[in-house]
Amino acid sequence: MKTPINKLTFPELPYAFDALEPHIDAMTMEIHYTRHHRAYFDNLMAAVKDTEMADMSFDELLQNISKYPTAVRNNGGGHFNHSLFWKVMSPNGGGKPSGELAAAIEKEFESFEKMQEQFNNAAKTRFGSGWAWLSVKADKSLCVCSSPNQDNPLMDVSECKGIPILGLDVWEHAYYLKYQNKRPDYVSAFWNVINWAEVEANYKAAL
Ligand code: MN3
């Protein structure tokens, strides 16, 4: 996002709280969007107010995040990550990608199923709170990884740099009400709501 940070707005949720049932329950969606994401957004705005960061583009800030306060890293990451997360899900989601994205996945991972296996593994084995990602690297190839806390592959501190095109929130707040400690069940359910048209649009934009 090239938008200056002080011009960012809190995004609309593109569907109703109960739209992703039964895979993601309505109460989790409501709390996650209206409280967790809202808090990251409000805290980001408060952290950049009256600083040089306010006029920077959001992408530029994330790409240079090591120079800025931890509150900006955590809340800026939180805002970016959740904004992406809501959009890569849809009540009409699921299935498999098509077109250029499908071809790129087969080229990199051999098959959709092998990419899925790597992604599931990244999501399940991230210890504590974090995210799993499918990203486009600088050489335009795809990669799967996970990150701690609210970090993401755009950040200069990331161990797996790239432009994220698909992300899964594996913080307990994303699944605990419905799945309790069974993170693998939540990770499996995610595939039923992925909006592949959006992920493919993200892929094309990243090239
Ligand atoms: Mn979250």
Q: What are the pLDDT digits (tens) for 44-102?
A: 999 999 999 999 999 999 999 999 999 999 999 999 999 999 999 999 999 999 999 99
> What is the three-class DSSP state of 185?
helix
Q: What Cα–Cα distance (Å) separates residue 6 from each residue in 33, 47, 51, 62, 139? A: 20, 11, 10, 14, 31
CA 88 – ligand 1 centroid, Å: 14
pLDDT at 114 over 80: yes
Please report the pLDDT score of residue 200 as a whole number.
98
Cα Rg for the chain, rounded, in angstroms?
16
In degrees, rounded to 5, the angle at the alpha carbon of residue 187 between the alpha carbons of residues 84 and 77 is: 30
CA 174 – ligand 1 centroid, Å: 5
CA 97 – ligand 1 centroid, Å: 24
CA 179 – ligand 1 centroid, Å: 15
Structure pTM?
A: 0.97
CA 130 – ligand 1 centroid, Å: 9
CA 103 – ligand 1 centroid, Å: 30
CA distance 68 to 62: 9
